[in-house]
């Protein structure tokens, strides 16, 4: 029993260096199997757990990688989208800038026209000198062609375009203020110009009697002459000195055949001693239109046109009206 028991034991000798004694370890047989088995098992377990852990780590990493690449793809897509959006915006800015430029040019042309109108009014209108001041067109930059487009350039182009629009708005505001007044003035000037009896009323320029006091050609006594006498040939055309309406076209003793034209602003022109009449009462005549023929009818010593201007029912000197 003791022997059998002994036989089931295993002695392990632990040999170290020469200074140390040899150690003896006695192990029972079950322990002899159990210890390496446990060691193997624990190592195996460790390996398995390491494998599981590493697999999990790898899976995690793979998952992260997948996510990252997805994000990268998404980023790429977003960046492409952004690039496209920026490109579109850039194009829009360039187009806007072109339009702003064109509009500005057009506005400047309109402004130029208004200035010409103003010059017309100043030249021909004896108005109260209320000429509107034109907004000064300061020397603004002009956006040219853009070949390379960089962010800064786009930003400055956008800024320029904005400036252009501000300027255009100012131009429009200025025109809205000036143009109606200018047009009114121009219309008034035109009406006055056409209506004012300013045209010499016949072909001959030979003035034989002035307006005012003179000695009467028939009596030799001093008398008031209400107009001017222009000598001419019978049949010479007599022109309307200004546009207006015929209010008289008839024969009367001293005046002979005569015409009265009524103009705007309370003015009338009278044409006397005519040979024949080309118009009737109620006719509208334009400046320069032939209204009759020069003659010597009525109280006349020879072929001439008696021309007089009546302003608010009073005769005035016609000469200052005639150009």
Which H or E element spans position 93? helix 29-124
Q: Which CB, 115 or 209, lies closer to Zn ion?
A: 209
Stretch that binds Zn ion, among 181-189, 241-249, 276-284, 299-307 (CB under 5 A): 299-307
Round to whole Å and give the CA distance between 276 and 177.
51
DSSP letter for 148, please: S
Q: Which CB, 263 or 306, lies closer to Zn ion?
A: 306
* Shortest Cβ 209–Zn ion spacing (Å): 6
Q: Enter the tokens of residue 172.
A: 């429009």
* Shortest Cβ 251–Zn ion spacing (Å): 16
Round to whole Å and give the CA distance between 246 and 236.
20
Q: Which CB, 168 or 272, lies closer to Zn ion?
A: 272
> Between vectors from CA 300 to CA 306 and to CA 282, what angle results, nearest 5°?
45
CB closest to Zn ion, residue no: 306
Length of the chain: 323
- The footprint of Zn ion on residues 134-163 (CB under 5 A) is none
Which H or E element spans position 36? helix 29-124
Q: Which CB, 171 or 226, lies closer to Zn ion?
A: 226
* Shortest Cβ 193–Zn ion spacing (Å): 27
- The footprint of Zn ion on residues 56-115 (CB under 5 A) is none
Q: Which CB, 229 or 268, lies closer to Zn ion?
A: 229
Q: 24-33 contacts: CB < 8 A, separation 24 or more? A: none
Stretch that binds Zn ion, among 87-95, 199-207, 222-230, 232-240 (CB under 5 A): 222-230
Stretch that binds Zn ion, among 72-80, 88-96, 181-189, 303-311 (CB under 5 A): 303-311
Binder to Zn ion among 240, 306, 309, 310 (CB under 5 A)?
306
Stretch that binds Zn ion, among 20-28, 45-53, 83-91, 306-314 (CB under 5 A): 306-314
Round to whole Å and give the CA distance between 236 and 169.
58
Q: Which CB, 125 or 232, lies closer to Zn ion?
A: 232
* Shortest Cβ 275–Zn ion spacing (Å): 15
List, in order, residues 6 or more apart from 12 with CB less than 8 Å away. 24, 25, 26, 27
Q: Which CB, 143 or 227, lies closer to Zn ion?
A: 227
Provide the 3-class DSSP secondary structure of residue 127: coil
Within 115-219, strands assigned E span: 207-209, 212-215
Stretch that binds Zn ion, among 163-171, 224-232, 241-249, 289-297 (CB under 5 A): 224-232
Binder to Zn ion among 160, 164, 229, 268 (CB under 5 A)?
229
Task: Tell me the HSE value of 76 on the side-chain side, using a 13 A CA sphere.
Answer: 6
Q: Which CB, 192 or 306, lies closer to Zn ion?
A: 306
Classify residue 49 as left (phi > 0), alpha (psi -120 to 50) or beta: alpha
Handedness of CA 196, 197, 203, 206 (dihedral sign): negative
* Shortest Cβ 128–Zn ion spacing (Å): 34
* Shortest Cβ 267–Zn ion spacing (Å): 19
| Binding residues with Zn ion: total (CB under 5 A) | 2
Does the footprint of Zn ion cover residue 273 (CB under 5 A)?
no
Q: Enter the tokens of residue 86.
A: 């920026």
DSSP letter for 199, please: S
Contact footprint for Zn ion (CB under 5 A)? 229, 306
């Amino acid at each position: 029993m003791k022997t059998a028991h002994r036989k089931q034991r295993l002695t392990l000798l632990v040999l170290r260096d020469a200074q140390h004694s040899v150690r003896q370890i006695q192990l029972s047989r079950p322990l002899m199997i159990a210890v390496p088995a446990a060691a193997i098992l624990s190592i195996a377990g460790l390996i398995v757990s390491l494998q599981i852990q590493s697999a999990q780590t790898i899976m995690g990493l793979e998952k992260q990688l997948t996510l990252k690449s997805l994000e990268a793809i998404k980023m790429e897509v977003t960046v492409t989208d952004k690039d496209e959006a920026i490109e579109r915006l850039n194009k829009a800015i360039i187009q806007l800038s072109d339009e702003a430029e064109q509009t500005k040019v057009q506005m400047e042309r309109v402004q130029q026209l208004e200035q010409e109108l103003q010059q017309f009014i100043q030249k021909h209108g004896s108005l109260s000198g209320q000429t509107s001041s034109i907004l000064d067109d300061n020397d603004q930059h002009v956006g040219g062609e853009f070949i390379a487009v960089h962010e800064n350039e786009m930003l400055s182009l956008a800024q320029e375009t904005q400036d252009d629009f501000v300027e255009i708005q100012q131009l429009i505001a200025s025109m809205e203020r000036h143009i109606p007044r200018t047009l009114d003035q121009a219309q008034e000037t035109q009406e006055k110009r056409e209506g004012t009896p300013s045209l010499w009323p016949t072909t001959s320029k030979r003035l034989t009697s002035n307006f005012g006091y003179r000695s009467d050609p028939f009596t030799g006594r001093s008398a008031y002459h209400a107009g001017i006498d222009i000598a001419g040939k019978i049949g010479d055309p007599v022109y309307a000195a200004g546009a207006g309406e015929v209010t008289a076209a008839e024969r009367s003793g001293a005046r002979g055949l005569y015409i009265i034209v009524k103009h705007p602003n309370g003015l009338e022109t009278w044409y006397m001693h005519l040979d024949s009449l080309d118009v009737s009462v109620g006719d509208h005549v334009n400046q320069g239109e032939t209204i009759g023929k020069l003659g010597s009818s009525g109280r006349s010593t020879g072929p001439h046109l008696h021309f007089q201007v009546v302003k608010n029912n009073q005769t005035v000197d016609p000469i200052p009206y005639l150009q």
